[in-house]
Amino acid sequence: MTREFPDGETYLRIEGDVNGRAVALLCTLHEPNPRFLPLAFIADALRDMGATSVGLVAPYLAYMRQDARFLPGEAITSASFARLVSRQFDWLATVDPHLHRWHALSDIYTIPAVALQAAPLLAAWIRANVDNPVVIGPDEESEQWVSGVAATAGCSYIVLEKQRRGDRDVSVSGLSGQDWGGRTPVLVDDIISSGQTMAQTVAQCRATGSAPAVCLGVHGIFAPEALAALQQAGAARIVTTNAIAHPSNAIDLSPLLADAVRAFWRG
Ligand code: R5P
């Protein structure tokens, strides 16, 4: 059980016997700042009470996008966060972490860490729900997901170019003169945060004469106004996995995560 003291500190109590048991903690890590400290306390308490190992299942892994020092003095928070998690847990399972300048979790995590892929599940959703799709990736980083999704869904894909000038100031290009041929664009990205990447891509598709686009995100963070921006841009449907709970969740990651936990426990 958990509750907040009047001073804002957290009370935690583990109701159960973990002595001699391997434990997996499930905690997705959007809005990570208030979540991480209680999580670290629980991991400590579990060890103190005799757990033989404590693993972390974080369907969404926070702080992966600041993967370089772009401006002098910036903190490379992906590496710092990885050090904190690696100190507290014996292993980590996550889904499609944002690997761009880091090529693998092992670049920054020092514990066994597995990056599960939602691509087969996204592809299955497309096959079941969209006639004549073409998968669109909004930027070069997305090619790693969209190529696999399109191959499994049995359709083609297009990767666009993105220019980001600020947190909510994004433009995409690469669709001028596009012949849609009756295909429905299915936008695929790892993260929907401000929603601007997807919204600008939806708008570009519409401007070049496509059918209303379907938006498919692995991690639906949905900052304030993100959903409205996507709807205003003309998205036909917005679908996410349940890595982060949201009304748009339509793709269940539980079997993928359960398999990963079993694999860690088998060693
Ligand atoms: C970019 O690096 C990511 O793959 C996503 O495209 C990005 O995080 C989406 O962010 P937003 O919804 O704020 O445009």
Triad 121, 61, 229: Cα angle to 5°: 70
> Which amino acid belongs to residue 249?
N
Is residue 141 over pLDDT 90?
no
Q: How much is the pLDDT for 203?
A: 96
54-77 as b/e: b if 16+ CB within 10 A: bbbbbbbbbbbbbbeeeeeeeebe
Mind listing the pLDDT tens digit for each residue in 21-52?
999 999 999 999 999 999 999 999 999 999 99
Neighbours of 1 (CB within 10 A): 7
* Residue 255 alpha carbon to ligand 1 centre in Å: 26
- Minimum-distance ligand 1 atom for the alpha carbon of 192: 12
pTM (two decimals): 0.95
Helices (H), the chain: 32-48, 77-88, 119-129, 143-153, 196-207, 226-233, 254-266
- Of residues 231, 183, 190, 229, the one with CA closest to residue 208: 183
* Residue 185 alpha carbon to ligand 1 centre in Å: 18
Residues with CB under 6 A from ligand 1: 65, 138-139, 141-142, 170, 189-197
Most ligand 1 atoms within 8 A of CB, residue of 163, 192, 202 to mutate = 192
Is residue 244 over pLDDT 90?
yes
